[in-house]
Amino acid sequence: MLPVLPEMGELGNMKRIIGFIGLFVLIAGLCHAQTDEVYSANVVGIFKVPVTSGQYNLLSVPMHKIASYRGVISGNATNSITDSTASWTVGEWSEGVTNKESPFASASTFYIEISGPTSSAFYGRHFYIATNSVDMLMLKAPAPSDLQASDLEGASYKIVAALRMRDVFGHNDTTNMCLKAGADPSTADTVLMWAGNGWTDTIFFKEAGPPPSRRGWVQGTNIVDNLVIDRDASLFVRRLGSEPSTNFTMTGEVSGNAQDVILDINYNMIGGMSVVDKVLDNTSLTNVLGVGADPSIAGTILAWNGTGWDTAVFYKDSGPPPSRRGWVQGTNIVGSTFKIEAGKGYFLSLHSATNWSRLSPLE
Protein backbone atom coordinates (compact mmCIF):
# COMPACT_ATOMS: atom_id res chain seq x y z
CA MET A 1 0.00 0.00 0.00
CA LEU A 2 1.34 3.43 -0.98
CA PRO A 3 2.13 5.94 1.79
CA VAL A 4 -0.76 8.38 2.29
CA LEU A 5 -0.43 11.80 3.87
CA PRO A 6 -2.49 12.14 7.05
CA GLU A 7 -5.33 14.66 7.00
CA MET A 8 -3.87 18.01 8.08
CA GLY A 9 -6.56 20.47 7.05
CA GLU A 10 -7.32 21.37 3.45
CA LEU A 11 -4.61 20.03 1.14
CA GLY A 12 -5.25 22.39 -1.78
CA ASN A 13 -3.10 22.02 -4.90
CA MET A 14 0.04 20.41 -3.46
CA LYS A 15 3.40 20.66 -5.18
CA ARG A 16 7.03 19.59 -4.81
CA ILE A 17 9.87 21.81 -3.48
CA ILE A 18 13.17 22.41 -1.84
CA GLY A 19 16.35 21.82 0.06
CA PHE A 20 18.27 23.93 2.48
CA ILE A 21 21.22 24.26 4.77
CA GLY A 22 22.81 26.23 7.56
CA LEU A 23 21.21 28.44 10.18
CA PHE A 24 18.37 30.39 8.61
CA VAL A 25 16.53 33.60 9.28
CA LEU A 26 13.71 35.09 7.25
CA ILE A 27 14.67 38.45 5.80
CA ALA A 28 12.57 40.19 3.10
CA GLY A 29 10.92 36.89 2.18
CA LEU A 30 14.19 34.96 1.92
CA CYS A 31 15.83 32.45 4.20
CA HIS A 32 19.54 33.24 4.59
CA ALA A 33 22.15 31.00 6.16
CA GLN A 34 24.43 32.08 8.96
CA THR A 35 27.69 30.17 9.25
CA ASP A 36 30.76 30.36 11.44
CA GLU A 37 34.06 31.26 9.79
CA VAL A 38 35.67 27.85 9.36
CA TYR A 39 37.75 26.29 6.63
CA SER A 40 35.96 24.43 3.84
CA ALA A 41 37.76 21.83 1.74
CA ASN A 42 34.98 21.82 -0.87
CA VAL A 43 32.67 24.18 -2.72
CA VAL A 44 30.46 26.49 -0.68
CA GLY A 45 27.43 27.66 -2.62
CA ILE A 46 23.88 29.00 -2.63
CA PHE A 47 20.73 27.06 -3.46
CA LYS A 48 17.39 28.85 -3.91
CA VAL A 49 13.98 27.18 -4.28
CA PRO A 50 10.42 28.58 -4.18
CA VAL A 51 7.89 27.35 -1.63
CA THR A 52 4.27 27.56 -2.79
CA SER A 53 1.42 28.77 -0.63
CA GLY A 54 -1.39 26.39 0.31
CA GLN A 55 0.52 23.26 -0.61
CA TYR A 56 2.46 20.33 0.76
CA ASN A 57 6.07 20.55 -0.42
CA LEU A 58 8.30 17.46 -0.49
CA LEU A 59 11.87 18.57 0.10
CA SER A 60 15.36 17.44 0.97
CA VAL A 61 18.62 19.06 2.04
CA PRO A 62 21.10 19.45 -0.85
CA MET A 63 24.11 20.60 1.18
CA HIS A 64 25.50 20.24 4.69
CA LYS A 65 27.15 22.40 7.32
CA ILE A 66 30.84 23.00 6.88
CA ALA A 67 32.84 20.20 8.49
CA SER A 68 34.07 20.97 12.01
CA TYR A 69 37.05 18.60 11.91
CA ARG A 70 38.89 16.39 9.40
CA GLY A 71 41.35 13.61 10.00
CA VAL A 72 42.50 10.05 9.29
CA ILE A 73 41.33 7.02 11.26
CA SER A 74 44.06 5.02 12.97
CA GLY A 75 41.77 2.22 14.13
CA ASN A 76 38.24 1.24 15.05
CA ALA A 77 36.19 -1.23 17.02
CA THR A 78 32.58 -2.15 16.28
CA ASN A 79 31.29 0.86 18.22
CA SER A 80 34.19 3.34 18.27
CA ILE A 81 36.63 5.13 15.97
CA THR A 82 40.13 6.29 16.93
CA ASP A 83 42.35 9.04 15.54
CA SER A 84 45.65 8.78 17.38
CA THR A 85 46.70 12.26 16.21
CA ALA A 86 43.62 13.98 17.70
CA SER A 87 43.68 15.92 20.95
CA TRP A 88 40.01 16.71 21.51
CA THR A 89 38.46 18.03 24.66
CA VAL A 90 36.62 15.16 26.33
CA GLY A 91 32.94 15.38 25.39
CA GLU A 92 33.28 18.15 22.81
CA TRP A 93 31.50 16.01 20.16
CA SER A 94 29.01 14.47 22.61
CA GLU A 95 25.35 14.27 21.69
CA GLY A 96 23.58 17.28 23.18
CA VAL A 97 26.77 19.28 23.75
CA THR A 98 26.25 23.04 23.99
CA ASN A 99 28.39 26.05 23.08
CA LYS A 100 29.45 24.53 19.74
CA GLU A 101 27.02 26.37 17.42
CA SER A 102 24.97 29.55 17.42
CA PRO A 103 22.88 30.13 19.47
CA PHE A 104 25.43 28.86 21.97
CA ALA A 105 22.88 27.63 24.51
CA SER A 106 21.45 25.15 21.99
CA ALA A 107 22.31 21.45 21.92
CA SER A 108 24.21 19.99 18.96
CA THR A 109 24.48 16.53 17.46
CA PHE A 110 27.54 15.51 15.43
CA TYR A 111 28.21 12.67 13.01
CA ILE A 112 31.37 11.28 11.47
CA GLU A 113 31.36 10.76 7.70
CA ILE A 114 33.85 8.53 5.88
CA SER A 115 35.25 10.71 3.08
CA GLY A 116 37.82 8.32 1.57
CA PRO A 117 39.22 6.26 0.05
CA THR A 118 36.64 5.52 -2.64
CA SER A 119 37.59 1.83 -2.46
CA SER A 120 36.42 1.57 1.15
CA ALA A 121 33.27 -0.47 1.75
CA PHE A 122 32.20 2.32 4.13
CA TYR A 123 32.96 5.22 1.78
CA GLY A 124 30.25 7.86 2.25
CA ARG A 125 28.69 6.28 5.35
CA HIS A 126 27.88 8.43 8.36
CA PHE A 127 27.62 7.45 12.02
CA TYR A 128 26.25 9.57 14.85
CA ILE A 129 28.59 10.29 17.75
CA ALA A 130 27.54 9.53 21.34
CA THR A 131 30.59 11.03 23.07
CA ASN A 132 34.38 11.23 22.77
CA SER A 133 37.67 10.99 24.64
CA VAL A 134 40.84 12.85 23.61
CA ASP A 135 41.34 10.60 20.56
CA MET A 136 38.32 8.27 20.33
CA LEU A 137 34.75 8.75 19.08
CA MET A 138 32.15 6.47 20.67
CA LEU A 139 29.34 5.81 18.19
CA LYS A 140 25.71 6.21 19.11
CA ALA A 141 23.86 2.93 19.70
CA PRO A 142 22.87 0.78 18.02
CA ALA A 143 26.31 0.19 16.54
CA PRO A 144 26.47 -0.43 12.77
CA SER A 145 25.79 -4.14 12.30
CA ASP A 146 28.33 -4.49 9.48
CA LEU A 147 31.23 -2.61 11.07
CA GLN A 148 34.07 -4.86 12.22
CA ALA A 149 37.33 -4.03 14.00
CA SER A 150 39.95 -2.35 11.75
CA ASP A 151 37.51 -1.92 8.83
CA LEU A 152 38.11 1.84 8.84
CA GLU A 153 41.85 1.92 9.50
CA GLY A 154 43.50 4.49 7.23
CA ALA A 155 40.22 6.01 6.06
CA SER A 156 39.80 9.79 5.96
CA TYR A 157 36.84 11.33 7.76
CA LYS A 158 35.10 14.55 8.69
CA ILE A 159 33.00 15.50 11.69
CA VAL A 160 29.88 17.47 10.78
CA ALA A 161 27.19 19.09 12.92
CA ALA A 162 23.82 17.62 11.98
CA LEU A 163 21.05 19.88 10.78
CA ARG A 164 18.35 20.58 13.35
CA MET A 165 14.84 21.99 13.13
CA ARG A 166 16.13 25.36 14.38
CA ASP A 167 18.82 25.41 11.68
CA VAL A 168 16.60 24.65 8.74
CA PHE A 169 13.40 26.50 9.59
CA GLY A 170 14.39 29.19 12.09
CA HIS A 171 15.10 29.69 15.78
CA ASN A 172 12.91 29.81 18.86
CA ASP A 173 14.57 33.06 19.93
CA THR A 174 13.78 35.21 16.90
CA THR A 175 10.71 36.44 15.06
CA ASN A 176 12.50 35.97 11.73
CA MET A 177 10.96 32.58 11.03
CA CYS A 178 11.10 30.66 7.76
CA LEU A 179 7.66 29.15 8.43
CA LYS A 180 4.50 30.59 9.95
CA ALA A 181 4.14 30.12 13.72
CA GLY A 182 0.82 29.50 15.45
CA ALA A 183 -0.94 28.24 18.57
CA ASP A 184 -1.63 24.82 16.99
CA PRO A 185 -1.09 22.99 13.67
CA SER A 186 -4.23 24.48 12.15
CA THR A 187 -2.81 28.01 12.43
CA ALA A 188 0.83 27.25 11.62
CA ASP A 189 2.93 25.86 8.80
CA THR A 190 3.75 22.24 9.59
CA VAL A 191 6.52 19.69 9.04
CA LEU A 192 6.03 15.96 8.61
CA MET A 193 8.70 13.24 8.70
CA TRP A 194 8.70 9.55 7.76
CA ALA A 195 9.43 7.09 10.57
CA GLY A 196 10.10 3.99 8.45
CA ASN A 197 6.63 2.50 8.72
CA GLY A 198 4.44 5.58 9.13
CA TRP A 199 4.39 9.32 9.71
CA THR A 200 5.72 11.06 12.79
CA ASP A 201 3.55 13.46 14.74
CA THR A 202 3.15 16.89 13.20
CA ILE A 203 5.83 19.48 14.01
CA PHE A 204 5.07 23.19 14.11
CA PHE A 205 6.44 26.39 15.65
CA LYS A 206 4.33 27.18 18.69
CA GLU A 207 3.98 30.79 19.77
CA ALA A 208 0.98 30.67 22.15
CA GLY A 209 -1.70 28.44 23.65
CA PRO A 210 -1.58 25.49 26.10
CA PRO A 211 1.69 23.93 27.36
CA PRO A 212 4.42 23.80 26.31
CA SER A 213 3.90 27.55 26.46
CA ARG A 214 7.33 28.86 25.46
CA ARG A 215 8.07 29.69 21.84
CA GLY A 216 9.64 26.80 19.98
CA TRP A 217 9.31 23.89 17.61
CA VAL A 218 6.81 21.44 19.11
CA GLN A 219 5.92 17.82 18.40
CA GLY A 220 3.07 16.74 20.63
CA THR A 221 4.03 18.13 24.04
CA ASN A 222 7.77 18.02 23.35
CA ILE A 223 10.02 20.95 22.43
CA VAL A 224 12.05 19.78 19.41
CA ASP A 225 14.14 22.82 18.45
CA ASN A 226 17.21 20.58 18.27
CA LEU A 227 15.56 17.59 16.57
CA VAL A 228 17.98 16.22 13.96
CA ILE A 229 17.06 16.15 10.28
CA ASP A 230 19.15 13.29 8.97
CA ARG A 231 21.64 13.85 6.17
CA ASP A 232 19.79 11.47 3.82
CA ALA A 233 16.20 12.24 4.76
CA SER A 234 13.44 14.22 3.08
CA LEU A 235 10.34 15.72 4.64
CA PHE A 236 7.01 17.32 3.86
CA VAL A 237 6.34 20.96 4.64
CA ARG A 238 2.82 22.36 4.44
CA ARG A 239 2.62 26.09 3.73
CA LEU A 240 -0.67 27.68 4.88
CA GLY A 241 -2.89 29.05 2.15
CA SER A 242 -3.19 32.29 4.10
CA GLU A 243 0.57 32.83 3.82
CA PRO A 244 2.27 34.06 0.63
CA SER A 245 4.54 31.86 -1.41
CA THR A 246 8.16 32.45 -0.54
CA ASN A 247 11.70 31.42 -1.37
CA PHE A 248 14.29 29.64 0.70
CA THR A 249 17.86 30.67 -0.01
CA MET A 250 20.34 28.09 1.25
CA THR A 251 24.09 28.26 1.63
CA GLY A 252 26.37 25.43 2.69
CA GLU A 253 29.08 23.04 1.65
CA VAL A 254 28.76 20.70 -1.32
CA SER A 255 30.20 17.39 -0.23
CA GLY A 256 33.34 16.41 -2.10
CA ASN A 257 32.73 12.71 -1.46
CA ALA A 258 29.91 10.32 -2.26
CA GLN A 259 27.34 9.78 0.46
CA ASP A 260 26.17 6.24 1.09
CA VAL A 261 22.45 6.04 1.89
CA ILE A 262 21.20 3.07 3.94
CA LEU A 263 17.92 1.77 2.47
CA ASP A 264 15.62 -0.53 4.42
CA ILE A 265 13.11 -3.01 3.05
CA ASN A 266 9.79 -1.39 2.01
CA TYR A 267 9.51 2.41 1.93
CA ASN A 268 12.35 4.92 2.37
CA MET A 269 11.62 8.65 2.05
CA ILE A 270 14.98 9.87 0.89
CA GLY A 271 16.52 13.11 -0.25
CA GLY A 272 20.15 13.71 0.37
CA MET A 273 22.79 16.22 -0.49
CA SER A 274 22.50 16.44 -4.23
CA VAL A 275 22.81 19.91 -5.79
CA VAL A 276 22.65 18.69 -9.39
CA ASP A 277 19.66 17.11 -11.15
CA LYS A 278 20.36 13.68 -12.65
CA VAL A 279 18.31 11.60 -15.09
CA LEU A 280 17.88 8.00 -14.01
CA ASP A 281 20.22 6.63 -16.66
CA ASN A 282 23.03 8.65 -15.03
CA THR A 283 22.42 7.35 -11.52
CA SER A 284 23.47 4.06 -9.94
CA LEU A 285 19.90 3.16 -8.96
CA THR A 286 19.60 0.29 -11.42
CA ASN A 287 21.87 -1.90 -9.32
CA VAL A 288 20.37 -0.58 -6.08
CA LEU A 289 16.67 -1.15 -6.72
CA GLY A 290 16.98 -4.29 -8.78
CA VAL A 291 15.16 -5.11 -12.01
CA GLY A 292 12.08 -7.10 -12.93
CA ALA A 293 9.10 -7.52 -15.21
CA ASP A 294 6.87 -5.40 -12.95
CA PRO A 295 6.96 -3.44 -9.66
CA SER A 296 6.14 -6.55 -7.62
CA ILE A 297 9.60 -7.85 -8.55
CA ALA A 298 11.67 -4.69 -9.02
CA GLY A 299 12.21 -1.86 -6.57
CA THR A 300 10.36 1.35 -7.38
CA ILE A 301 10.66 5.13 -7.21
CA LEU A 302 7.67 7.27 -6.24
CA ALA A 303 7.63 11.00 -7.02
CA TRP A 304 5.22 13.51 -5.48
CA ASN A 305 3.10 15.16 -8.20
CA GLY A 306 1.16 17.71 -6.16
CA THR A 307 -1.96 15.71 -5.30
CA GLY A 308 -0.44 12.28 -4.67
CA TRP A 309 2.21 9.88 -5.88
CA ASP A 310 2.99 9.48 -9.57
CA THR A 311 2.90 6.08 -11.24
CA ALA A 312 5.81 4.03 -9.92
CA VAL A 313 9.07 4.05 -11.88
CA PHE A 314 11.06 0.81 -12.08
CA TYR A 315 13.73 -0.85 -14.19
CA LYS A 316 12.06 -3.33 -16.54
CA ASP A 317 13.95 -6.29 -17.94
CA SER A 318 11.21 -8.50 -19.39
CA GLY A 319 7.46 -8.95 -19.78
CA PRO A 320 4.80 -7.01 -21.74
CA PRO A 321 5.52 -3.78 -23.65
CA PRO A 322 7.57 -1.75 -23.44
CA SER A 323 9.66 -4.88 -23.90
CA ARG A 324 13.16 -3.43 -24.11
CA ARG A 325 15.23 -3.10 -20.94
CA GLY A 326 15.07 0.27 -19.27
CA TRP A 327 13.47 2.56 -16.71
CA VAL A 328 9.71 2.65 -17.28
CA GLN A 329 6.75 4.57 -15.90
CA GLY A 330 3.51 3.04 -17.07
CA THR A 331 4.22 2.30 -20.75
CA ASN A 332 6.82 5.04 -21.17
CA ILE A 333 10.59 4.65 -21.26
CA VAL A 334 11.85 7.38 -18.89
CA GLY A 335 15.53 6.69 -18.25
CA SER A 336 16.63 9.83 -20.09
CA THR A 337 13.76 12.08 -18.96
CA PHE A 338 12.85 11.24 -15.34
CA LYS A 339 15.08 13.27 -13.03
CA ILE A 340 16.20 12.86 -9.46
CA GLU A 341 16.01 16.58 -8.74
CA ALA A 342 18.17 18.59 -6.40
CA GLY A 343 16.35 19.52 -3.20
CA LYS A 344 13.47 17.16 -3.85
CA GLY A 345 12.40 14.08 -1.87
CA TYR A 346 11.32 10.66 -3.16
CA PHE A 347 10.01 7.38 -1.83
CA LEU A 348 12.09 4.34 -2.75
CA SER A 349 10.35 1.02 -2.25
CA LEU A 350 12.65 -2.00 -1.95
CA HIS A 351 12.14 -5.74 -1.63
CA SER A 352 15.38 -6.13 0.32
CA ALA A 353 17.66 -3.81 2.30
CA THR A 354 20.64 -2.30 0.50
CA ASN A 355 22.80 0.85 0.12
CA TRP A 356 22.81 3.64 -2.47
CA SER A 357 26.03 5.56 -3.08
CA ARG A 358 25.04 9.06 -4.25
CA LEU A 359 28.02 10.46 -6.09
CA SER A 360 29.17 14.01 -5.45
CA PRO A 361 29.03 16.43 -8.41
CA LEU A 362 32.64 17.27 -7.47
CA GLU A 363 33.90 13.71 -8.00
39-45 long-range contacts (CB < 8 A, ≥24 apart) are 39/66, 40/66, 40/67, 40/253, 41/67, 41/70, 41/256, 42/253, 42/254, 42/255, 42/256, 42/362, 43/253, 43/254, 43/256, 43/362, 44/251, 44/252, 44/253, 44/254, 45/251, 45/252, 45/254, 45/275
Say if CB 234 and CB 345 are below 8 A apart. Answer: yes
Please report the DSSP string for 123-168 in residue order: TT-EEEEEEE-SSEEEEPSSPPTT--TTTTTT-EEEEEEPEEHHHH
Taking the model in full, what pTM does it have?
Answer: 0.86
- By CB atoms closer than 10 A (0-12, 13-18, 19+), residue 339 is middle
Alpha-carbon torsion, ordered 7, 12, 13, 15, to 10 deg: -50
256-314 pLDDT tens trace: 899 999 999 999 999 866 778 899 998 889 889 989 998 889 999 999 877 788 999 99
Look at residue 50 and give its three-state secondary structure.
strand
What are the Cα distances from residue 79, in Å, to 146, 213, 233, 260? Answer: 11, 39, 23, 19
Q: What is the DSSP letter of 280?
A: G
Look at residue 291 and give its three-state secondary structure.
strand
84-116 pLDDT tens trace: 999 999 999 999 999 998 777 889 999 999 999
User: Residue 212: is the preceding peptide bond cis (ω within 30°)?
Assistant: yes
Confidence of residue 77 (pLDDT cuts 50, 70, 90): very high
Spans of all domains in the chain: 23-64+164-253
Give first-to-last CA distance, the chain, whole Å. Answer: 37
Lowest mean pLDDT among 128-132, 172-176, 286-290, 313-317: 172-176
